[in-house]
Structure 1
């Protein structure tokens, strides 16, 4: 069976349908030309391919060229306990599988929120890896599969060095990944969005529609993440990385937002 992929957000569904619930939600959008669909086979025929670039120590970015959907890139973390794919891209081909295998393959897949679910089941099958998703966002899964493993609560240890954290902003089940290796790192997708100026990050309810997150939720997320040490913050797009002082960047950015919210 051909599993349709939404051209606007990259979400893959189990079977054909008329609409894309992810795009109909106010945190995303239906493109001006209306709902359009594609498939992995069509994307491969259009000439898409994988893009691989080192993004940090033992962190490799994986994207799609020409850019497709929302243009995100995933991150492959190479760790002593196995490789973890953080977030996902809406494309996969044999050459990408070969490149990832050269880097050590994938032992776990973890995804920040529904905008990055994309073709996660294809990646799970290609590498025989479980996909870790927060239970609170189960309703957004477009293609159910036994590879999807749901967790609940605020934290879930993935390995001795890696912990999934649910800060509760953007989506109820939003997730960031903390690494305690070295000076520490936080992998955030756009749950905590690294902007063009890496001295600042932002937390929004909807980025494409410019809807801010509720101040009390932003404060609660910042308080939760303050319990972790991290120098680096890896965002969702190419080049969006805070390379030092990550804890200070997050704290300063949250305080700036709350000052504006109070009208100061």
Structure 2
């Protein structure tokens, strides 16, 4: 099993270039395609830390960073755990830390950039299902019987709903966790909606590293989709958070995005 050094997505074999990185939403380094393995990453000192974000929501972070460097989230419910946006690295200590929280029901990535070593995580956790959005199924570079496609809305655990607003990728997914934020609801948005540093707005992009925006119509469509269910707090796939009033933030940000892409504010430029 090979891991792309740039995006940390697992592969069955080494192609000339990682297809995910060659796509316009990602990038191949000027030095060329490079590969690594779990053994090499372990030897380099990569370790995973677990921290609690709020009651029953945890973050997994690899240090030094691996690939894109996302922060996985673990949602805990009485019926089991959801591992969201799996890291591009896993070891026995990290598995033990996750198991100490409960039994994982499924591994799900918000979109192909976040696949990480999803199959490896599944195997380490007892071959739990790896759910991949049907529109993005063709991006999987390591096939395994644990992979299952899904579409639409899926209640993966009681009160934990997966859905696919699309945007960044056609199958880009989010998690609505009804019990989060003391019952006011939490949205785990991946980078379908990216919490900005100001903590009062979100971004809608086809590519973040290459600065390709989505249209205003798509931003508003995504916002309408995710606000079908209430949420007060939003976490992206790194350490970004909208701590409160996140539903209003999403709708306001989509309207602002649409206005700028229409040219409403060109006089300011």
Deviation at 1:51?
A: 1.6
How far did residue 259 of structure 1 move?
1.2
Aligned length: 260
Q: Aligned-pair distance for 1:16?
A: 2.4
Residue 175 in 1 paired to residue 173 in 2?
A: yes
1:245 is matched with which residue?
Answer: 245
Deviation string, structure 1 residues 47-87 (Cα, Å, up to 9, x no partner): 11112111222111001001121111100111112111111
Q: Among 100, 110, 113, which residue is 1:112 paired with?
A: 110
What is the match of residue 30 of structure 1?
28
Q: If the length of structure 2 is used for normalisation, what is the TM-score?
A: 0.94
**Residues 85 and 116 in structure 2, CA contact (< 8 A), matched pair in contact too:** no
Partner of 1:225: 226
Higher mean C-alpha displacement, 111-120 vs 92-101: 92-101
CA distance in structure 1 between the partners assigned to 2:103 and 2:65 by the alignment: 23
Any runs of at least 4 consecutive aligned residues in structure 1 with deviations exceeding 3 A, and if so which? none
The residue that corresponds to 1:85 in the other structure is: 83
The 8 Å contact of residues 163 and 178 in structure 1, kept in 2 or not, is answered as yes
Aligned twin of 1:254: 254
Q: Distance in 2 between matches of 1:52 and 1:13?
A: 26
Deviation at 1:214, TM superposition (A): 2.1
Question: Are 1:157 and 1:164, in contact at CA under 8 Å, matched by a contact in 2?
Answer: yes
Question: Deviation at 1:180?
Answer: 1.4
1:107 and 1:127 in contact (8 A); partners too: no
RMSD of Structure 2 on Structure 1 (CA)? 1.0
Unaligned 5+ segments in structure 2 are 265-269
**Equivalence for 1:143:** 142
Aligned to 1:207: 208
